[in-house]
Amino acid sequence: MQIFSVMLIARLFGWLCKRVNQPPVIGEILAGIVLGPSLLGMWFPEFSAFLFPEKSISYLKLVSQVGLILFMFLIGMELDLSVLKNKMRNAIAISYVSILLPFALGFGLSYFIYERLAPEGIGFVEFSLFMGIAMSITAFPVLVRIVHEKGLQNTSAGIIAIACAAADDITAWCILAGIIAIAKGGSLNETLYLIFFISIYILVMLKVIQPLLNKLFNKYGDGRRNKSITAICFLVLLISSFTTEILGIHALFGAFLAGLIMPSNITFRKVFVGKIEDVSTILFLPLFFVLTGLRTQINLLDNFYLWGICGVVVLLAVTGKFLGSTFTARLVGINWKDSLIIGALMNTRGLMELIVLNIGYDLGIISKELFSIMVCMALITTVMTGPILDLINRKFKTV
């Protein structure tokens, strides 16, 4: 009953959003909020308690985590690093500024909201660092889908935006791993030890495991019909996720890195992704959206101060990401139209933002109120992308 309701409403909302030229992920996120305490729990508390009993939440979280591990593995595999290499100079410059500017704005905002919105016992350093990275995320999978839906995949702006988002994702997840290490490390020595072991793990994955996988792939064919290769890939995923969880930087980072080091043959990646994408996106991800919805309590934003902070967060997030990407693109020689398109696309946050927010919530770095504010920001910035792209195209057609 629970899973059926979640999937039905998520698909319905996703379909409705697609009808109004919005990414289906927006509808799925909204479905989670509708099923949570913000709407269903507020207006029909008895039915909400029946549909999502307290004892089922831990199981829902477990199943959604499995889905997220598969999803992050897919994201790693879908990152075509050859695209990044071809556009390396411009992509790195745009990506780094589009991270640093919103990061600095989020860090600065933390100084003003720490006393009111930080959970008890959380230090300013980990709180402000997390706010910085939460403002800096770009949703690579949503961006790629928007690029294809708008027919930009073969344009200079679309290719550079995808390359920037790839660089952005890799950089942001590495920074997030460091922030988690600081949050969990305790003393300075413990944090440094943790960062050291994380660095060793990343080097082993890149310099030992990746070459071994490539050798296996070259020796035993393209892997499309080789069950042993498929089994080995899943084994790498499980071991990598388990290792990063043990290290204390979350299983999702291990899953992402496992996907990133898979054999680089595009045909193999497409076939492998096809085997698990539907299960991940249709079955597991809606459960994650509902879990996020159950944690999002819009009714907690019950005063002018909190709604004011929500407005400031959205303003800073858009300003940092959009302006940082646009002006950097212009500085490296890209024309104004393409620069604005890149800025609009890089402002897409969507699902990746929710994953980061849930990690922060689970670690106790952000409060319920701030979690709800940041979810609103993720929704608003993602919804903005399509209309802004249409506006840019209309303006430049009339010029």
What is the distance between the alpha carbons of residues 267 and 376, in angstroms, rounded to a whole number?
38
Closest CA to 317 of 371, 367, 271, 378: 378
What is the distance between the alpha carbons of residues 252 and 173, in angstroms, rounded to a whole number?
9
Percent of the chain clearing pLDDT 90 (strictly above): 29
Cα atoms found within 13 Å of the Cα of residue 259, Cβ hemisphere only = 27
What is the distance between the alpha carbons of residues 153 and 286, in angstroms, rounded to a whole number?
27
Alpha-carbon distances of 11 from 87, 90, 170, 243, rounded to whole Å? 36, 38, 30, 34
Residue 297 DSSP code? -
- What tokens does 282 get? 């249709």
The better pLDDT of the pair 325, 158 is held by 325
For helices 156-185 and 251-260, give the axis angle rounded to 10 degrees.
Answer: 140
DSSP E strands in the chain: the ranges are none
Helix and strand totals (H; E) in the chain: 21, 0
pLDDT greater than 90 at residue 373: yes
Q: For the residues 130-158, what does the mean pLDDT come to?
A: 84
Cα-only R_g, the chain: 21
Q: Are 141 and 28 in contact (CB under 8 A)?
A: no
Q: For the residues 92-118, what does the mean pLDDT come to?
A: 93
Closest CA to 344 of 310, 314, 394, 383: 383
Q: For the residues 267-296, what does the mean pLDDT come to?
A: 78
Q: Are 33 and 296 in contact (CB under 8 A)?
A: yes
| Confidence (pLDDT) at 221 | 58
Q: For the residues 137-141, what does the mean pLDDT come to?
A: 82
Q: Are 134 and 48 in contact (CB under 8 A)?
A: no
Q: Express each pLDDT in 145-162 by its tens digit.
A: 788 778 887 788 888 888
DSSP three-state, residue 142: helix
CB atoms within 10 A of CB 213: 21
Closest CA to 253 of 195, 171, 133, 173: 173
- What tokens does 299 get? 């009714």
Q: For the residues 50-68, what does the mean pLDDT come to?
A: 81
Q: Are 258 and 267 in contact (CB under 8 A)?
A: no
CB atoms within 10 A of CB 302: 11
Confidence of residue 307 (pLDDT cuts 50, 70, 90): very high
For the chain, give every domain's residue range. 2-398
| Confidence (pLDDT) at 251 | 85
Positive or negative torsion for Cα 37, 38, 44, 47: negative
Residue length of the chain: 399
| Confidence (pLDDT) at 147 | 84
Domain 2-398 sits in CATH 1.20.1530.20: yes
